[in-house]
Amino acid sequence: MEWEPVIGLEIHAQLATSSKIFSGASTAFGAQPNTQACAVDLGLPGVLPVLNREVIRMAASFGLATGSTVSKRSVFARKNYFYPDLPKGYQISQYELPVVQDGELTIELEDGTSKRIGITRAHLEEDAGKSLHEDFHGMTGIDLNRAGTPLLEIVSEPDMRSAKEAVAYMKMIHSLVRYLEISDGNMQEGSFRCDANVSVRPVGRESFGTRAEIKNINSFRFVEQAINYEIERQILLLESGGAVIQETRLFDPDRHETRSMRSKEEANDYRYFPDPDLLPVVLDQEFIDGVAAALPELPAARRQRFVDQYGLSDYDAGVLTASREFAEFFEATAREAGGNGKLAANWVMGEFTAALNKGGIDIADSPVSSGDLGRMLLRIDDGTISGKIAKQVFEAMWNGEGDADRIIEEKGLKQITDPAAIEAVIREVLENSPKQLEQYRGGQEKVFGYFVGQVMKATKGKANPGEVNALLKKMLGS
Amino acid sequence: MQHKTLAELSAGLDSGDYTSEELTTACLERIERLNGPLNCFITVTAEEALAAARAADARRQSGKAGPLTGIPYAHKDIFCTRGVRTSCASRMLDNFISPYDATVTQRLAAAGAVMLGKTNMDEFAMGSSNETSYYGPVRNPWNQDTVPGGSSGGSAAAVAARLVPASTGTDTGGSIRQPASLCGVTGLKPTYGRVSRYGMIAFASSLDQGGPITRTAEDAALLLEAMAGFDERDSTSVDQPVEDYRAGLGNSLKGMKIGLPAEYFDGAVDSGVGDAVEQALEEFRRLGAETVDIRLPHTYLSVPTYYVVAPAECSSNLSRFDGVRFGHRCQDPQDLEDMYKRSRGEGFGAEVKRRIMIGTYALSAGYYDAYYLKAQQARHLIRDDFRQAFEAVDVIMGPTTPTPAFRLGEKVDDPVTMYLSDVYTIAVNLAGLPGLSVPAGFVDGLPVGLHVIGNYFDEARLLNVAHQYQQVSDWHTRVPEGFE
């Protein structure tokens, strides 16, 4: 039987506020345990939450960027369950009335087609703390620094049909929250993670199969692996006559498999009800319009602009706008290179990306700035160096040997464009290659390339290739 | 000194008749001598009180004193007090020394008031008799075989016995007004949102409200002025300026319309209580007020609605008492579940457990719509009753409780009968309105309270009404035998 996977994602994006969602404590990552947990975060008797208004602005900007409805009235509710790192015994979240509802995103697939993925809702909630099971002699340590950190939970429709689509969607959301500057998207620190709901059904069937939820996946690679494993597991189970049970599963990245965490029967009854400590969040149109007016240029618009303004192909514009940092690096490079977008795009997507990947370096930590790269491209543009020599220059810049002009100067890489000098070299090459000259004159025109190579070799690649071609043709023709 | 009102004491401090230190010492001595059988206090903070009194005296000398500077008061043990045990009368918090002050605690300290200690109460404010306290019941100074009411029983009894001139209370379903009524003192529950709930240990967040318990309405005005006000740490507190509650105390009641709901004068009222209330109403008519018969047709929904909403909120509010970060933790837990079960099983008393279970049930999947949601709808009906009533009248009056103080142990095994003793006060919390109980007579030597309900933020009018009544009555000046 042919099976079709059905996937929906719940993405948790930590919002980039400086203080927590319901208290004034700092959200900075990496502090000593429990040093960033105030009385409210600790859930001390008598404390009350006060909403950080900034999270509403951030959620609204996400809603507007995804064509969603930004609710004029949303309500915080309590999700009740016991866990040692959940200080109040309930999590404040949004349940029936979330701040963002009913939006969509378009993802691009590898075959060049695109697909619309529905966004059911995005709601605000507080994160829990962390339970630390090592180093406590059989006991558990609790670190509440993370407790109360604001999260935006973005829930998709079950619109994805493969792990690849799920990854494409997750990358798209990741890019978007960074464009909007509402989340740093740092996956190692857990600022961006997801739960995947996976089920399979026979191709052609309308109704969904029973789903399993894979919790807390924190990398694109793991999302793909976890979903593929889960699809495989469910198909095997069904084909051997078994049934998928509704349950929560955990992905083990070391073993590349998912494991059962708890079944539906063991699931908590969260006893949601509106939090009486917080008033409903009421937004007026003026506020929503203000957020809309302040939205930055979004990936789709920027992509189209790159095509129009720099004459890039749609594909290249898509690659360059996949992340805000990358797009901004490209534009700064192009600006520095006198507006030569095509040249900048080739270099940013080519040598520069290759160097980043090779070194496993984040764009923010690149040893070559957009200014460095752009100024080097100017030297290609004005004929000082050839594209080929530029690769040497780039490598030297990457290794910290200085800026392009200094490297060109110190290494004597300046291109030879003086016709008289090139003619002298050609003459010498021709004199030293009587056999090849005879072959050429005998009609073997491919020997032309040999002469070019010899000239470039003699000039250590510095001769202007166009000039060499033109002069060689002229001299051989005479 | 003990028989002077807060206002009189304030004047005495001003004119130098005595110092706060002398006054505080006298109160502490009286507590030492008389509190034993009453059991009004869970913690007496004598040293801190004397230090605060001396600071208040210094402040008075430097000319920066307000009316409360140097005035001793007793603080319900539900308000967090930094460095002082804040137990909520529960074994769960017997070891809890709060690291922070409640907003009310801060405001009273800023006004220069001197905290003498923390008063006994029903555990987590759940009760109407003060019998659910981990620290034992409080006895009513008027008859020590009877209850003082609850949950602010210690606060009300301490004022009635003249141990303190004033105290704080909290009121979720009548917990200020019912004990004030049963102890013959004046108690005011302000409009929901008037007094900050920050640092006031939550029972039912949408109903809880702190307020003053004093002998006179004038004293309540003084204390409320210091307690009330917007607090940015409480999202449900209302950003509206605090009035000068004393300014209108002397206003005439001529032409004031008093609504008398038929539902508050039915057969459930003890005849002695009914007579006392009728005589008080006659007094108001003599003062120029007019009484108007009104209806609050959804009154019958109050108790059932309350006993869904309050337990539902409490079941969630009390989840934080899990033995992890503070409070009681069982000995040698086997694992996490064992720790939760035994810590909570040992830490909470029977009434608290009962309400957590009722609330958990009411919020459970499949029951939410039938209970919690239905209760919210009923709450709207109750609120609308009052809204309509206040279109026709200025205040609403009736008995605070159907009967005077009942005997210790009489209702402790019959929770529903106990819950019904709050039948007149509960609707006021559900609607978020201000309500006041003022002494209005005695039945068999036990005090009777008159309940005065006002429109939103109409505390000044309630205090005016009570003050005018206290100018023509002397119930509030009576002293229980043995405490003269």
Model confidence at A415: pLDDT above 90: no
Contact B197 A48 (CB under 8 A): yes
Range of the domain at B126: 6-255+406-477
Q: Are residues B249 and B126 in the same domain?
A: yes
- What residues of chain A lie within 8 A of the CB of B360, using their CB? 271
Q: Are residues B177 and B247 in the same domain?
A: yes
Same domain? For B469 and B327 the reply is: no
Which is higher by pLDDT, A212 or A416?
A212
Please give the residue that has the higher pLDDT: either A424 or B392. Answer: B392
Contacts for B270 with CB less than 8 Å, ≥ 6 apart: B402, B403, B404, B443
Q: What is the pLDDT of residues B335-367, one digit of tens each?
A: 999 999 999 999 999 999 999 999 999 999 899
User: pLDDT at position B273, please?
Assistant: 96
Same domain, B360 and B446: no
The string of pLDDT tens digits covering residues A68-77 is 999 999 999 9
Asked if the model's pLDDT at residue A478 lies above 60, the reply is: no
**Does the structure show a pLDDT above 70 at B293?**
yes
Chain A's closest residue to B206, CA to CA, is A276
Name the residue among B102, B340, B360 with its Cβ closest to that of A46: B102
Angle at the Cα of B411 from the Cα atoms of B405 and B412, rounded to 5 degrees: 115
Average pLDDT over residues B294-323: 97
Given a cut of 60, whether residue A8 has pLDDT beyond it is: yes
What local confidence, expressed as pLDDT, does residue B373 receive? 95
Q: What is the pLDDT of residue A111?
A: 85
Q: Tell me: pLDDT of A414 over 90.
A: no
Report if residue B391 sits inside a domain. Answer: no
Single out the catalytic residue among B167, B175, B196, B237: B175
Q: Following DSSP, what letter does each residue of B234-268 receive, concatenated?
A: -TTS---PPP-TTTTTT---TT-EEEEEGGGSSTT
pLDDT above 80: residue A135: no
pLDDT of residue A356: 94
- Is B458 part of any domain? yes
Mean pLDDT, rounded, for A226-248 = 95
Q: Which pLDDT score, from 0 to 100, does residue A436 have?
A: 87
Interface membership of B365 toward A (CB under 8 Å): yes
Among B313, B339, B366, the domain boundary falls at B366
- pLDDT surpasses 60 at B396: yes
Q: Which of B10, B20, B129, B151 is catalytic?
A: B151
Give ipTM to 2 decimals. Answer: 0.96
Which among B88, B93, B320 has the least Cβ separation from residue A87? B320
Total domains, chain B: 2
Same domain? For B94 and B243 the reply is yes
Residue whose C-alpha is closest to residue B136's, from B90, B77, B172, B71: B90
Average pLDDT over residues B144-171: 98
Q: Which two tokens stand for residue B216?
A: 């006179």
Q: If pLDDT is split at 50, 70 and 90, which confidence band does A430 have? A: confident
Instruction: Look at A381-390, B8-17, B266-275 and tell me which has the smallest mean pLDDT.
Output: A381-390
B175 is catalytic: yes
CA nearest to A144 within chain B: B325
pLDDT at A56 over 70: yes
Cβ separation B336–A84 shorter than 8 A: yes
Q: Which fold has domain A419-477?
A: Arc Repressor Mutant, subunit A (1.10.10)
pLDDT band at A387 (very low <50, low <70, confident <90, very high): confident
Q: What percent of chain B has pLDDT over 90?
A: 95
Q: Is B96 in CB contact (< 8 Å) with chain A? A: yes
User: Is the sign of the CA dihedral B89, B90, B96, B101 positive or negative?
Assistant: negative
Write the residue in B235, B320, B336 that is nearest to A48 by C-beta: B235
Per-residue pLDDT at A109 exceeds 70: yes
Instruction: Report if residue B326 sits inside a domain.
Output: yes
| Chain A contact present for B201, CB below 8 A | yes
pLDDT confidence tier of residue A385, bands split at 50, 70 and 90: confident
Residue B392 forms part of a structural domain = no
pLDDT over threshold 80, residue B267: no
- Tell me the mean pLDDT in the region A352-361: 93
Instruction: Give the closest-approach CA distance of A236 to chain B in angstroms.
Output: 34
Are B233 and A45 within 8 A, CB to CB? no
Same domain assignment for residues B314 and B212: no
Q: Reading across the β-sheet that carries B114-119, which strands appear in turn? A: B41-44, B114-119, B72-76, B166-171, B209-214, B186-189, B435-443, B446-454, B395-399, B257-261, B290-294
Encode pLDDT of A306-333 as tens digits. 999 999 999 999 999 988 889 999 999 9
| Maximum average pLDDT range among A115-124, A259-268, A322-331 | A115-124
Handedness of CA B182, B183, B184, B190 (dihedral sign): negative
Section B142-157 average pLDDT: 98
- For the record, the structure tokens of A260 come out as 């059962």
Residue B363: list chain A partners with CB under 8 A. Answer: 80, 271-273
d(CA B69, CA A336): 70
pLDDT computed for residue A467 by the predictor: 85
Q: Is the pLDDT reported for residue A112 higher than 90?
A: no
The residue of chain A with its CA nearest to that of B238 is: A279
User: Which of B98, B316, B321 is nearest residue A78 as measured by Cβ atoms?
Assistant: B316
Mean pLDDT of B17-22: 97
Question: In this complex, how many residue pairs, one in chain A and one in chain B, have their CB atoms less than 8 Å apart?
Answer: 102
The pLDDT value given to residue A330: 96
Q: CA-to-CA distance for A447 and B241, rounded, in angstroms?
A: 96
Selecting from A44, A84, A277 the residue whose C-beta is nearest the C-beta of B205 gives A277
Say if CB B269 and CB B402 are below 8 A apart: yes
**Identity of the highest mean pLDDT range in A312-326, A386-400, B150-164:** B150-164
Cβ contacts of B421 within 8 Å, gap of 6 or more: B128, B178, B401, B402, B403, B406, B411
Quick check: B102 and A142 CB within 8 A? Answer: no
Is B341 inside any structural domain?
yes
Average pLDDT score over chain B: 97
Residues in chain A whose Cβ is within 8 Å of chain B? 39, 42-51, 78, 80, 82, 84, 87-90, 140, 142, 269, 271-273, 276-279
How many whole angstroms separate alpha carbon A213 and alpha carbon A190? 18
Co-location of B341 and B209 in the same domain? no
Q: What is the pLDDT of residue A459?
A: 86
Residue predicted with more confidence, B406 or A464: B406
The whole-number pLDDT of residue A115 equals 96
Query: Is the CB of B316 inside 8 Å of chain A's CB atoms?
Result: yes
**Pairwise CB contact (< 8 Å): B100 & A269:** no
pLDDT of res. B211:
98
Domain annotation covers residue B166: yes
In a domain, B63, yes or no: yes
CATH of the domain at B98: 3.90.1300.10
What is the Cα–Cα distance from A104 to A68, expressed in whole angstroms? 7
Residue B372 lies in a domain: no
B302 is catalytic: no
Higher pLDDT, A467 or A230: A230
Which of A230-239, A461-470, B202-211 shows the lowest mean pLDDT across its residues? A461-470
What is the percentage of chain A residues whose pLDDT exceeds 70?
Answer: 99
Q: Please indicate whether residue B98 is annotated as part of the active site.
A: no
The distance from CA A120 to its chain's CA centroid, rounded to whole angstroms, is 22
The residue extents of the domains of chain A are 3-289, 297-411, 419-477
Out of B76, B118, B189, B411, the active site residue is: B76
Residues B362 and B414 in one domain: no
Overall average pLDDT of the B462-474 stretch: 98
Judge if B420 and B472 occupy the same domain.
yes
